[in-house]
Amino acid sequence: MNDVKVKNVKVIFTEPDNIRLVIVKIDTNQPGLYGVGCATFTQRPTPVKAAIEDYLAPFIEGKNVNDIEDIWASSYVSSYWRNGPVLNNALSGIDQALWDIKGKLANMPVYDLLGGRSREAAPVYVHASGDSNEEVGDVMQKYMEKGFHHIRVQVATPGYATYGNKSAKTGEETSLNKDVSKGPIAATSWVSSWVSERSDAAKLTNSDRYGVSASESNKYGRSSEGKLYGKSRLSAHPGGIFEPVPYMTSAISLFEYIRERFGYGIEILHDVHERISPIQGVWFAKQVEKYRLFFLEDLFSPEDQHYFEMVRQQCATPIAMGELYVSPNDVIPMMKNKLIDFIRIHISDIGGITPARKIATFGELMGIKTAWHGPGDTSPVGHAANLALNLNSQNFGIQEAAIFGENSKEVFPGCPELRDGMMWSNGKPGLGIDINEELAKKFPFKERVWGGAWDTVRRADGGVVKP
């Protein structure tokens, strides 16, 4: 089958469960033979589509589908402006689809093409958040009863809203703050005026804005009432408010509560999401060491990654990093100097399976495990690619789980299965997953303010918080 060529490249937009997905389908000159890949960049999908249709598709059409390494390298260097989420997401979709085709040609799952399985299934972690320690614990209990052994935990900071948390309560007593009804800062006249002006201008609910349900939006620190924070939550910004010290205090309190309630038989993870200063991050990593986290995620932003050396010198808290990296080269110094324990790169951000398998191999040599980024905005196709690497890699660590909705399962026949706290492959050739194009058309993209970008999280004084 050395004469199988790329005939056509198609980009498919679909939103089966309120998350915008970008899928690449490559047809070949062999009738009925095609491959699918994930190029999802949910905040900026249209530039990815343009990069594929206007540049990559004409470049690879007519090329031999077996020449994946050459196609990847030549596509990479031909862009001139290398790396970045747009070009690398586009290239990832192409790359995954080619691996899917190669597996089908060989009548083998992709993990067998890579050398075979190192395990039967891939353990995953799920997410538990809530307005209180008790609520988080109750969510954890339900997951544990379903067989999950690794759980990422986030709790709302009293009076604030932070990434990964449910909405913060106001006007209620808590163990950490007896009165949060007035918001995180004093109710000065200029703040009152500022909030009033902007709350009137922002009538769209967060669920309308982002295309997620009210219950889903609660997970990410947005208002459960569907408002952008009214006058009861006074600050210099009507969106998400974050302050480092209350956040760290709440998180430490949560870890203590979990260990008292469940002991150390359950693995817990936590995501800082680069929102605190580097020196605060060093202090935080030291403080949480005693709670034995499975890992502490994204402690510093990529710009501040040299601070990981300081963490290494002072504590043994396992560190995961990489979600914001957009190039395979970004992570090399971190791995070479053994400053992290888990690599969290998003496969669709760095160019697909071809570079990811090389990173995994390098990690094995350095004693660093994989923990590929895999939230809900990774398509089922992207998770199938994650799973292929997870099953093959000797240094696999953990996989972030996505619990697929019923619409997604119908649009993407062959979705990886979640059971017993693990993700399982169906063993079919290629990536083992397909797309129902006609059904996908029934879930077009919804209109979004600002093109779908996440709302900006700010300090109480109005300053922007990373990332």
Catalytic sites, residue numbers: 163, 273
**Residue written as tokens 């992709």?**
110
CA 256 and chain centroid, separation = 26
352 vs 76: CA distance, rounded Å: 12
Residue 237: which residues within 8 A CB-CB, separation 6 or more?
A: 456, 458, 460, 462
Closest CA to 38 of 58, 7, 13: 13
The radius of gyration of the chain from alpha carbons, rounded to an integer in Å, stands at: 22
Helix and strand counts by DSSP (H, E) for the chain: 18, 13
Sheet bearing 34-38, strands edge to edge: 6-14, 21-28, 34-38
Closest CA to 459 of 160, 205, 225: 160
Burial class (CB in 10 A: 0-12, 13-18, 19+), 16: buried
User: In 37-80, where does DSSP find H-type helix?
Assistant: 45-51, 57-60, 68-78
122 sits in which H/E element: strand 122-130
Q: What is the DSSP letter of 418?
A: E
Instruction: Tell me if 354 sits within 8 A of 389, measured CB to CB.
Output: no
Residue 314: which residues within 8 A CB-CB, separation 6 or more?
A: 282, 285, 286
Burial class (CB in 10 A: 0-12, 13-18, 19+), 108: middle
